Amino acid sequence: MDTSLLVIQTLNGLQLGLLLFLVASGLTLVFGILDFVNLAHASLYMLGAFICASLTYAVGNFFLAVLIALPVTALLGWGVERFVARPLYARDHLDHVLATFGLILVLDTAAHLIWGPEGIAVPLPEAFRGQIELSETLVIPTYRLVIIAAGLAAAGGLYWMVVHTRLGMLIRAGASNRVMVGALGINIELLFGLVFALGAALAGLAGMLIAPITEASIGMGNQVIITAFVVIIVGGIGSMKGAFIAALLIGLIDTLGRSFLDDIFKLVMSPDAAENSAPAISAMLIYIIMACVLALKPQGLFPPKVR
Amino acid sequence: MSILETKGLMKSFGGIRATDDLTLSVEQGELHAIIGPNGAGKTTLITQLCGTQMPDAGTIHFKGRDITALAPDKRARLGITRSFQITSLIPDMTVLENIALAVQAREGSSYRFIRAAAGIPAIRDRAMALLERVGLAEKAEIETRALSHGEHRHMEIAIALASRAELMLLDEPMAGLGPEESARMVDLLTELKGQHTIVLIEHDMDAVFALADRISVLVYGHIIATGDPASIRANKEVEAAYLGEEA
Amino acid sequence: MSTRTIATLVAMALLAVLPPIFFYTGNAFWLDLATRLTILAIAAVSLNLILGYGGLVSFGHAAYVGLGAYAVGIPAYHWLYGGLESLGLATTSGLVQIPLAMVVCALFALVTGAICLRTKGVYFIMITMAFAQMVYYASVSIEEYGGDDGLVIDTRSELPGLNLDNPIQLFGLAYLSLVVAMLIVRMITRSRFGMVLRGAKGNAERVQMMGLNPYAYRLTAYVISGAMAGYAGALLGNFTTFISPEMMDWTRSGELMFMVILGGASTTGGPVLGAAAFIILEEVLSHFTIYWHLPFGLLLIAVVLFTRGGLMGFFRGRK
């Protein structure tokens, strides 16, 4: 195992973790405050990527595209709240799951209609195409560091907003006691819409950030949503702190597991057995961890306080 | 002989002591009422007695056996049943099915997969008899959610009876009942008195003083007095606690 | 007889009569559709036991179907290419494969159910899905059995007196299995065991106060349901003669859930009606446009928003 690979993979894990956090934070907000399970959350991640891709070609600048795409995805999130989620608040989780499952089909197909079956690659701005040489063996693409920085900035901004603003105060109050917020005479509908829009913008941002690496493609959200659910379940649904810690944990474990698990297995078993079992185990690793966490703490690592 | 004994029971929620060094002894066959101002910790006591909440400290003995750490279903099988202050029935099953399930739970194994439960005379007949007893026989086939609040309260009693429990913990059986329904409930409890040991939590003081053999007064999680209705009525401390609440 | 029972009987009669007509008039395509529908209906019936009657929203049922299919494919693969003879698992005998499918699924349900049932609500939904994803990724990464590309089943299960290569015989087996599955679920849910299961769905705390531990009953139902879905998977493997991880994708589990809800949860015939409506709709819509997921998804949302009790809600039940 060499150190430079470890450093690179750790950065990759960090990057994945931060992107996961951007998706999971919206999911956990929506669930914590609205008690709503939104399977279609990652469709906004996909739409964010597509919208940003189109805009990048239209305006010729990736940053400008991101800046325009953010409010657009927020608006889409608001629309999802208004037309699909709102009529379902009083229903049980099963209905949420089914309706938003339908919404995934609708949004995926809509993307297919608009952008076609092929994915769209997003060109990186000139400034980020390079690599940064940390040592002779340690070369990191600049854009990876940009993603990490942007992810940290978004997480920091979110933290600041939740702790210091009035909206944040309402969100915190709502996550721990929904009834109380209603009793305060707050415009609940507006608050719910804002929470959805915020979540959508965060998920969209994750999609926009990843698009230059993977390209925007149909169904790109469908794997992310499951991992994001793993994150919020492990972290404890409704807990921002839990989502952040779990996202980094899952991101790191998944990335490092895939690259180093066979080496670790070779310490305790034959090289052949290690080569054979490591890929399967590393692919399942985050689910195994989730199962272990839930077996020990059925409400996740940071369970929300009294409901 | 005492059937239920608690010693030094403690339970706190986030620094607030809901149960504070609570010692209580319930005699076999008596109707023991527990009264106290709102927030005195009456329901918290019931939940600890039936096992849905564990005390932080102290012990609970039932028929001489330490049941402090026993799960609710195990306590139920030993012979403790409770009714709920907020009606807790199975809304999407019929009235008869609710009672039949309680009968079945008491009368034998529920790991039976073949015969339809509704076709077993022993269960059905006893469930019907219980419904007869609480005056709900003609509503047997109706879905539970369709019944009135008062009827739900009577179903709670029927379920408690179905368990043939030696000890019945009744949490405000008269809550939310109109005068007529209350009177029927008092009649029913009078009938049950003597056949079962009953711990009754109730706000309706007329009913409590008419029914109880003994009364314990709970204030801030602690029992300040226990005695027959006359001695409780004459107790200065009790009066102060209640006057304190009203003031 | 309630109109609901009549609706179920009519649907089952149509399903019994139409496929042979398709077969003898040379409409192989429609017979195929009916067979697939019937097999998925078995899976939906098994899911209904826990989801409908038990109130346990399992979001990982496709994993059992997939495991069941692999329990046919893997022995058949070893029979052809060698390996596993010592375990007796290099075989094309359905009398080994089908019990294997059910046992594997029952065990998987027992182990994962023991963990899942400690959780509640959305945690339960997500952990069942997570376990299904584990199976999915395991199958993706096992290269020997095709990994991502899937595994072709060269030989169908051999059963005494039956030839599953004959499409009408395969359909006949699936149909009979469906009837038996429906009767089993109906029997279980009306039994004393079923009363506890249904009672725990309505009010678990109350059931526990009666002296019954919901956990044990739920776990038992979970295992029965898993074994039944494994059986459906074994049939599905025989029908498609091809298995791939894609059969276990979480969207497949979502589809099974939708079949149950669309038809009407906690009714005997609901899952069958739901599976039929789902498969036929999918076929018809995809015939018209490659964008059929759009109207399909909208319909799904509309069903959840505007109907209660699914298709069975249109018919009056007893009471």
Distance CA B29, CA A145 (A): 76
What is the reported pLDDT for A45? 95
**Residue C246, Cβ neighbours under 10 Å: how many?**
15
Is residue C298 included in any domain, yes or no?
no
Question: In chain C, at which residue ranges do the beta strands (DSSP E only) sit?
Answer: 151-152, 242-243
Position C183 in a domain: yes
Interface size A-C, in CB pairs within 8 Å, comes to 132
CA distance A41 to A38: 6
Q: Report chain A (307 residues): mean pLDDT per 10 consecutive residues.
A: 81 93 91 86 94 92 92 95 89 90 93 91 83 80 89 90 83 67 71 90 94 90 89 88 93 90 83 80 87 86 68
Closest residue in chain A to residue C122, using alpha carbons only = A93
Q: Would you mind telling me the total number of residues written for chain A in this entry?
A: 307
A306 in any annotated domain: no
| Closest chain A residue to C121, measured at CA | A93
User: Which amino acid type is present at position A95?
Assistant: D
Sheet strands (E) in chain B:
2-13, 16-27, 31-35, 57-62, 65-66, 80-83, 167-171, 197-201, 214-219, 222-227
Rounded to an integer, the average pLDDT of C90-101 is 94
Nearest to B40 by CA among B243, B177, B242: B242
Asked if pLDDT for residue C135 goes beyond 60, the answer is yes
Q: At residue B63, what is the residue type? A: K
Count of domains for chain C? 1
Is A273 in CB contact (< 8 Å) with chain C? no
Distance from CA of A298 to the nearest CA of C (A): 5
Q: Which of C196, C205, C206 sits opposite B110 (nearest CB)?
A: C196
CA pair distance C63, C75, nearest whole angstrom = 18
Chains with 3 or more CB pairs under 8 A to chain B: C
Q: ipTM score here?
A: 0.86
Q: Judged by CB atoms within 8 Å, which residues 63-92 of A form the interface with C? A: 84, 87-88, 91
Nearest-CA residue of chain B relative to C224? Answer: B113
pLDDT in tens, B96-151: 999 999 999 888 778 888 888 888 898 999 999 999 988 899 999 999 999 998 89
Nearest alpha-carbon partner for A42 in A88, A111, A93, A94: A111
Q: Looking at the complex, does the CB of residue B231 fall below 8 Å from at least one CB of chain C?
A: no
Q: Out of A158-162, C35-39, C109-113, which region has the weakest mean confidence (pLDDT)?
A: A158-162
- With a cut of 50, say whether residue B247 has pLDDT above it: no
Whole-angstrom distance, CA of residue A27 vs CA of residue B8: 45
Q: What is the mean pLDDT of residues C50-70?
A: 96
Do B107 and B138 meet the contact criterion of CB atoms below 8 Å apart? no
CA-based nearest residue to B187, from B214, B164, B231, B157: B157
B246 has pLDDT over 70: no
| Domain assignment of residue A304, yes or no | no
Distance CA A56, CA A65 (A): 5
Q: Is the minimum CB–CB distance between C301 and chain A shorter than 8 Å?
A: yes
Testing the interface with B: which of C49, C184, C188, C192 to mutate, by most B Cβ within 10 A? C192
Q: Which pLDDT does position A296 carry in this prediction?
A: 87
Residue type at position A184:
L
Tokens of B32: 């023991």
pLDDT of C317 higher than 70: no
Helix C293-306 / helix A93-115 crossing angle, nearest 10 deg: 160
What domain range is A230 assigned to? 3-296
CB contact under 8 A, C294 and A110: yes
Q: Which amino acid is at C217?
A: Y
Residue in chain C closest to A116 (alpha carbons) equals: C291
CA A72 to CA A49: how far, in whole Å? 12
Measure the CA–CA gap between A58 and A261, rounded to whole angstroms: 44
Residue C170 included in any domain? yes
List pLDDT tens digits, range C202-255.
Answer: 999 889 888 899 999 999 999 999 999 999 999 999 999 999 999 999 889 999
Chain B residues with beta carbon closer than 8 angstroms to that of C190: 116-118
Are C115 and A294 an interchain contact pair (Cβ–Cβ within 8 Å)?
Answer: yes
**Buried/exposed code over B65-81 (b: 16+ C-beta within 10 A; e: otherwise):** eebbebebbebbbebbb
Does residue B174 belong to the interface with chain C, where contact is any CB pair within 8 Å?
Answer: no
State whether residue C95 sits within 8 Å of chain A by CB. no
Predicted pLDDT of residue C103: 98
Mutate to test the interface with C, among A27, A106, A112 (most CBs of C within 10 A): A106
Query: Among A264-268, B41-45, C175-179, which stretch is predicted with the lowest mean pLDDT?
Result: A264-268
Mean pLDDT (chain C, rounded): 92
Does the residue C132 lie in any domain? Answer: yes
Chain C's closest residue to B141, CA to CA, is C319
To the nearest whole percent, how much of chain C has pLDDT over 70?
Answer: 99
Q: Starting from the edge strand earliest in sequence, which strands make up the sheet with B57-62, in order?
A: B16-27, B2-13, B57-62, B65-66
Residue of C nearest to A292 (CA): C115
C49 close to B (CB below 8 A): no
For residues A61 and A231, is the Cβ–Cβ distance under 8 A? Answer: no
Task: Assess if residue A146 is contained within a domain.
Answer: yes
The shortest CB-CB distance from C257 to any of A98, A283, A299 is to A98
Specify the pLDDT at position A305.
Answer: 61
Q: Which two tokens stand for residue A233?
A: 């379940």
CA distance C214 to chain B (A): 9
The pLDDT value recorded for residue A178 is: 62
Residue in C196, C213, C319 nearest the CB of B101: C196
Contact in structure between A265 and A277 (CB atoms under 8 Å): yes
Asked if residue C215 lies in contact with residue B73, where contact means CB atoms within 8 angstroms, the answer is: no
Asked whether the beta carbons of residue C212 and residue B82 sit closer than 8 angstroms, the reply is: no
* Residue C259: closest C-alpha in chain A: A98
The 3 state secondary structure assigned to chain A is CCHHHHHHHHHHHHHHHHHHHHHHHHHHHHHHHHCCCCCCHHHHHHHHHHHHHHHHHHHCCHHHHHHHHHHHHHHHHHHHHHHHHHHHCCCCHHHHHHHHHHHHHHHHHHHHHHHCCCCECCCCCHHHCCEEECCCCCEEEHHHHHHHHHHHHHHHHHHHHHHHCHHHHHHHHHHHCHHHHHHCCCCHHHHHHHHHHHHHHHHHHHHHHHHHHHCECCCCHHHHHHHHHHHHHHHCCCCHHHHHHHHHHHHHHHHHHHHHHHHHHHHHCCHHHHHHHHHHHHHHHHHHHHHHHHHHCCCCCCCCCCC
Contacts of A99 in chain C (CB under 8 A): 300-301, 304-305
Collapsing DSSP to helix, strand or coil, A66 comes out as helix
Question: Considering the domain boundaries, does residue A136 fall inside one?
Answer: yes
User: CB-side exposure of A201: number of CA atoms within 13 Å?
Assistant: 19
* Eight-state DSSP code of residue A81: I
Query: How many folded domains does chain A comprise?
Result: 1
Q: Residue C129 sits in which domain range?
A: 31-250
Domains in chain B (CATH in brackets) are 2-79+165-246 (3.40.50.300)
Q: How far, in Å, CA of B141 to CA of B147, rounded? A: 11
Which CB contacts under 8 angstroms, 24+ apart, belong to B229-235?
Answer: B233/B209
CB A260 within 8 A of CB A274: no
Residues 115-154 of B with CB under 8 A from C: 115-118, 120, 123, 141, 143
Burial (CB count within 10 angstroms: exposed 0-12, middle 13-18, buried 19+), residue A116: exposed
Angle at C264 between CA A39 and CA B114, to 5 degrees: 115
If one counts every other C-beta atom within 10 angstroms of the C-beta of residue C186, the result is 17
- Partners of C209 on chain B (C-beta within 8 Å) are 50, 72-73, 76, 81-82
Q: List CB contacts (< 8 A) between A290 and chain C.
A: 127, 130
For residues C23-36, give the mean pLDDT. Answer: 92
Residue pair A262/A180 in contact (Cβ under 8 Å)? The answer is no
Nearest-Cα residue of chain A relative to residue C262? A98
Residue A97: which of C59, C115, C296 has the nearest Cβ? C59
What are the chain C neighbours of A108 within 8 Å (beta carbons)? 293
The answer as to whether A60 is a domain residue is: yes
Distance CA C251, CA C242 (A): 19
B100 in C contact zone (CB under 8 Å): yes
Tokens of C195: 């009363």
The size of chain C, in residues, is 319
Interface contact C238, partner B, CB < 8 A:
no
- Residue A159 vs residue C56, higher pLDDT: C56
Task: Confirm whether A69 is domain-assigned.
Answer: yes
Please tell me the distance from the alpha carbon of residue A99 to that of residue A37, in angstroms, as a whole number.
Answer: 10
CB contact under 8 A, C191 and B73: no
Using a CB-CB cut-off of 8 Å, the residues of chain A touching C304 are 88, 91, 95, 98-99, 102
Amino acid found at B104:
Q
Q: What pLDDT is attached to residue A179?
A: 64
Segment 176-205 of chain A within 8 Å of chain C by CB = none
CATH number of the domain residue A48 falls in:
1.10.3470
Interface test with C, best of A39, A101, A250, A293 (most C CBs within 10 A): A101
Side-chain-facing half-sphere of A302: CA atoms under 13 Å:
17
| Interface with chain A: mutation pick from C134, C262, C296, highest number of A CBs within 10 Å | C134
Question: Could you tell me which of B83, B89, B98 has the C-alpha nearest to residue B49?
Answer: B83
Give the distance, in angstroms, between the CA of residue B246 and the centroid of all CA atoms in the same chain. Answer: 27
Q: What element of type H or E holds C47? A: helix C28-48
B-proximal residues of C, 162-191, CB under 8 Å: 187-188, 190-191
Q: What is the pLDDT of residues C263-310, one digit of tens each?
A: 999 999 999 999 999 999 999 998 888 888 899 899 889 988 888 778
Question: What per-residue confidence (pLDDT) applies to C126?
Answer: 87
Per the CB < 8 Å rule, is A229 touching C299?
A: no
Are C319 and B143 an interchain contact pair (Cβ–Cβ within 8 Å)? Answer: yes
Task: Determine whether the interchain pair B90/C188 forms a contact, defined as Cβ–Cβ distance below 8 Å.
Answer: no
CA-nearest of B219, B211, B214, B164 to B187 is B211
Chain A positions in Cβ-Cβ contact with residue C306 (cut-off 8 Å): none
C111 at interface of A, judged by CB pairs closer than 8 A: no
| C141 falls within a domain | yes
Q: Phi and psi of A19, rounded to 5°?
A: -65, -40
| Displacement of CA C102 from its chain's centroid (Å) | 12
Handedness of CA A160, A164, A170, A174 (dihedral sign): positive
Cβ of C130 and A87 within 8 Å? no
Contact C305 A87 (CB under 8 A): yes
Contacts of B189 (CB under 8 A, 6+ apart): B31, B157, B170, B173, B198, B200, B207, B211
